[in-house]
Structure 1
Amino acid sequence: MTTSTTAPELLDIPARDLLTVDGTGGPETDGFGRAIRALFAVRAALGGTGDVPLEGTYTQGDDLHGFDLDAPDGWHWRLAVPAPSASAAAVATAAERFGAPVHLRRSRAQRVARVLHVGPYSAERPALAALYGFVAAQGLVPTDGHTEVYLSDPATVPAEQLRTYLQVPVMMVR
C-alpha cells in the first residue's frame, strides 16, 4: 500500500451554506450510506449541478486529539455538501420527499490547517499525526474535530489513488 502526504498548510475558508446530515458510527453503517445518498439527492432536487466533494467532520468524545481510527462505533459525524441557493423551507420540503434528515446550515468562516492524503482511508493515521504536529508547532489549537474532504470517489478510484484533504479548524493559543 502506497500513501503520500503533502506538507500541511494554513488557509482561510469563507462562510458558506451547506446541506448536512448528522449521525454516529463508522462509514460501513447503513446510516452513513443513506446520509450520503440523501445529501446528493436533496442537492439535485434543489437544482444543484456539477460535481462537488463530500465532506465529513468527525469527533469522538470530548478530546479533539483523541479521535480513534480503530473505534468507529464511537464516531460522531456531520456529512456535508455545498448547498445550492435555497431556503431552509425548500431544503426541508426536499428532504421530506426523500425521507432524509438533511438540514441547511451556514458554516462560519474559519482558519484551518490542511494536508492532502493520497491513499486508502485506513492509512490516514500518519497524515493526521503530521497535521496535528503542524498545528502544535504553529502555536495553534484545534477548535473542533477534523474534516475529511473527499476529492475522489471510492466507487471508481483505486484505494491507493484516493485523494482526501484532512483539515482541522484552529485558533491561536492565548
Structure 2
Amino acid sequence: MEKYDVKRAHKDLYSPPSDDFTEVDVPEFRYLAVDGSGDPNISSAYAEAVEALYSVAYTVKFVSKQNLERDAVVGPLEGLWWADDMSTFVTRDKQAWKWTMMINQPPWITHDMIDSAKSVAAAKKDLPGLPKLYSTTWTEGKCVQILHIGAYDDEGPILERLHHSVIPERGLTFDGKHHEIYLSDPRRTAPEKLKTILRQPVAVA
C-alpha cells in the first residue's frame, strides 16, 4: 500500500530554499483546524489544540487505512498567525498573537470522515481542545515563502526583510495571514536545527 505524503505530492510547496523567498501558487487543501490566541509557549489552549489535532489526524489515518485501504503520512503541524498590530511578529510580543493551528488532510478525506474520527478520539481520551476542532478547505493562492533553519524566536529578521524589502520590491502586497509549517519536531530537534517554512499570501500591489 503506497502512502500519500503531502510533502512529496507537493514538493514545491514543502521544500523551499533557505537563501531567498520563492513564489508559489497554493491550491485548495482540506485541513483539521483549531483557533486560539496567546503565547504558544505558555498557553494551555495551544497545547490542547495541538494534542486534539494529532489525535484526530492519526485516527483519520487509521480509519482510512482500515476501511479504504488508503494510507497516508500524517502531515506536519501548520499555523496561521496574525495580530491586530502585525509588527508584534517582528518584536515577538507573543501574547498579542492569534492563531489557527492545522494539519493538512489527504485529498480523499471528507468532512464526514473527520466528524467520525472526532467521535472515536473523544471516546478514547479526554481532549479539552477537541470541541474546538473543525474541518475546513482553504485555497491560499499566490504566496512567497522561505525555509528558516533555526529557533522560532530567530524569525524576526527574516520577517522584517519580508515586510520591508521583499514585498515592496516585488510590487506585492499582503493578502492573508502569516503561515508557518513546522517540518521538525521541537521535542527531538535542537533549536538551531529546527526547519520551518515561512509563507505569506500576497497579491499584486
- With normalisation by structure 2, the TM-score equals 0.75
The amino acid that maps onto 1:172 is V
Q: Is the 8 A contact 1:144 1:168 kept in 2?
A: yes
Task: Give the one of 87, 90, 94 matched to 2:117.
Answer: 94
Measured in 1, the distance between the counterparts of 2:23 and 2:187 equals 30
Deviates most, 97-106 or 51-60: 97-106
Number of positions where the alignment pairs a residue of Structure 1 with one of Structure 2: 168
CA apart distance, 1:33: 1.1
Residue number in structure 1 paired with 2:32: 19
Asked whether 1:38 is paired with 2:61, we answer no
Residue number in structure 2 paired with 1:156: 188
Deviates most, 22-31 or 88-97: 88-97
Residue number in structure 2 paired with 1:104: 135
Residue number in structure 1 paired with 2:20: 7
Structure 2: gaps of 5 or more residues: 1-17, 63-71
CA apart distance, 1:50: 1.5
Q: CA RMSD in A?
A: 1.9
Residue number in structure 2 paired with 1:171: 203
- With normalisation by structure 1, the TM-score equals 0.88
Say which SS state the counterpart of residue 26 (structure 1) adopts: coil
Q: Could you report, residue by residue, the CA deviation over 1:50-101 in whole angstroms, capped at 9, with x for unpaired residues?
A: 242111110001x555545432122110111112433323323433524502
Q: Is the 8 A contact 1:23 1:31 kept in 2?
A: yes
Q: Equivalences for 1:10-159 in 2 at 5 Å? A: 10-28=23-41, 29-47=43-61, 49-61=72-84, 63-64=85-86, 67=89, 69-84=91-106, 85-96=108-119, 97=122, 98-99=127-128, 100=130, 101-132=132-163, 133-159=165-191
Say which SS state the counterpart of residue 61 (structure 2) adopts: coil
Measured in 1, the distance between the counterparts of 2:155 and 2:31 equals 25
